[in-house]
């Protein structure tokens, strides 16, 4: 088991009451992703320290990643399944109490290269899981995305903003299927008596981040650790808000267990330009930063909105959540984890 992730989950146990999950069974899709991994670790730590007897069924297309394998060799159930062409009743005949649908291509390179699979994960698979939730009288949490807002005219963007994104762009398979996944949740909540909840998540990071996932933060860390140089592709003017993974997990589980509304924004409070992010990583790793010449800078039509910043006042007020880890500390922990697990092997 990963000692750093275990230690961090221990730190966060006091921030949420998980007694509601005592003797319950939780189905988690997208188990190999960063969010799925941390939910599993946090529930495992809760079992160890509070004897909650939470049963975990984890699902991913591939075998469990290295840091998850020890948990499933000893206690829980991991099922390698392609959700887009599988019958849920066949790979999960057990009755479940909670479903967390975290499966999906959140990395632009993946959802643009696999658009049909991305669409199916957010639509047809979501529908199947909602039927499972209805038949089992289970609660379902659908992990949506800040992408559904498109290029928002209101920043920070609240939950009642309807979005402004194209149905025919290079990122549309992701954003539009997330929107339809939300619509399916709305239908089952209002017509099938399913307790379905939606969380729109902005960028998460932390120990366990895949150094090879081709997202900007991972790319910067990889360049810094490998070459001690970050080579910018442009001037880094786009602005993003980053949420430390365990801050995100605590908000997600609060929504799943205690949420009274339907849709919640979930994100961080650390808003920086891509250039500032690179500068922070260079400072921590003692790396150099190289910018392209202004005349060589090209706009990137695949990079999404120019600014992403969610209004998270609803989730913070409802669950009295205000103690966010600062970005410098979060980056230090993330970089240290990658040094130990990627660089040192």
Residue 170 binned pLDDT confidence (cut-offs 50, 70, 90): confident
Question: Does pLDDT of 246 surpass 80?
Answer: yes
Q: Is the pLDDT assigned to residue 111 strictly greater than 90?
A: no
Flag whether pLDDT at 344 surpasses 70. no
Whether 118 shows a pLDDT value over 70: the answer reads yes
**Residue 326, pLDDT score:** 95
pLDDT at 345 over 90: no
- pLDDT digits over 12-37, tens only? 999 999 999 999 999 999 999 999 99
Tell whether the model's pLDDT for residue 154 goes beyond 70. yes
Residue 174 has pLDDT above 80, yes or no: yes
Q: What pLDDT was estimated at residue 107?
A: 77
Q: Any idea which of 155-159, 206-210, 292-296 has the lowest mean pLDDT? A: 292-296
Residue 105: the pLDDT is: 83
Question: Of 74-88, 102-116, 292-306, where does the model show the most confidence?
Answer: 74-88
In this prediction, residue 343 carries a pLDDT of 62
Which of 100-104, 213-217, 261-265 is predicted with the least confidence, judged by mean pLDDT? 213-217
Question: To the nearest whole number, what is the mean pLDDT of the chain?
Answer: 93
HEC secondary structure over the chain: CCHHHHHHHHHHHHHCCCHHHCCCEEEEECCCCHHHHHHHHHHHHHHHHHCCCCEEEEEECCCCCCCCHHHHHHCCEEEECCHHHCCHHHHCCCCCCEEEECCCCCCHHHHHHCHHHHHHHHCHHHHHHHHHHHHHCCEEEEEEEHHHHECCCCCCECCCCCCECCCCCCCHHHHHHHHHHHHHHHHHHHHCCCEEEEEEECEEECCCCCCCCCCHHHHHHHHHHHHCEEECCCCCCCEEEEEEHHHHHHHHHHHHHHCCCCEEEECCCEEEEHHHHHHHHHHHHCCEEECCCHHHCCCCCCCCCCECCECCHHHHHHHCCCCCCCHHHHHHHHHHHHHHHHHCC
> What is the dihedral angle through the alpha carbons of 189, 191, 193, 199, rounded to the nearest 10 degrees?
-10
Domains and CATH numbers, the chain: 3-206+242-270+307-325 (3.40.50.720)
Percentage of the chain lying above the pLDDT 90 cut: 83
Query: 302 pLDDT band (50/70/90 cuts)?
Result: low
Share of the chain above pLDDT 70, in %: 96
> Can you give the pLDDT at residue 295?
55
Predicted local distance difference test score (pLDDT) of residue 71: 92
What pLDDT does residue 35 have? 97
Full-model pTM: 0.95
For residue range 38-68, what is the model confidence (pLDDT) as tens digits?
Answer: 999 999 999 999 999 999 999 999 999 999 9
């Amino acid at each position: 088991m990963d000692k750093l992730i275990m230690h961090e989950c221990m730190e966060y146990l006091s921030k949420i009451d998980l007694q509601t999950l005592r003797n319950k069974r939780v189905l988690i899709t997208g188990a190999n992703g960063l969010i799925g991994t941390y939910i599993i670790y946090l529930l495992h730590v809760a079992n160890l320290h509070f004897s909650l007897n939470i049963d975990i069924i984890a699902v991913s297309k591939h075998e469990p990643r290295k840091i998850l394998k020890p948990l499933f060799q000893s206690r829980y159930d991991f099922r390698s399944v392609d959700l887009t062409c599988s019958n849920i009743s066949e790979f999960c005949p057990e009755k479940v109490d909670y479903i967390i649908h975290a499966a999906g291509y959140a990395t632009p390179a993946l959802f643009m290269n696999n658009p049909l699979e991305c669409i199916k994960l957010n639509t047809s698979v979501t529908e199947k899981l909602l039927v499972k939730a209805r038949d089992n009288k289970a609660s379902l949490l659908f992990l949506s995305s800040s992408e559904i807002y498109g290029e928002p005219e209101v920043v920070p963007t609240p939950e009642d903003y309807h979005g402004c994104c194209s149905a025919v762009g290079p990122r549309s398979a992701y954003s539009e299927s997330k929107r339809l996944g939300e619509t399916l949740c709305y239908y089952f909540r209002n017509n099938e008596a399913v307790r379905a909840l939606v969380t729109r998540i902005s960028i998460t990071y932390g120990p366990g981040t895949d150094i090879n996932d081709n997202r900007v933060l991972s790319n910067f860390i990889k360049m810094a650790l490998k070459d001690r140089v970050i080579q910018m592709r442009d001037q880094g003017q786009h602005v993003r808000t980053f949420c430390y993974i365990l801050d995100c997990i605590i908000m997600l589980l609060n929504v799943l267990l205690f949420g009274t509304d339907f849709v919640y924004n979930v994100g961080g409070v650390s808003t920086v330009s891509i250039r500032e992010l690179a500068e922070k990583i260079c400072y921590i790793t003692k790396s150099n930063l190289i910018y392209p010449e202004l005349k060589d800078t090209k706009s990137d039509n695949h990079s999404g909105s120019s600014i992403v910043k969610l209004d998270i006042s609803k989730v913070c007020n409802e669950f009295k959540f205000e103690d966010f880890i600062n970005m410098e500390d979060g980056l230090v922990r993330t970089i240290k984890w990658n040094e130990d697990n990627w660089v040192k092997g």
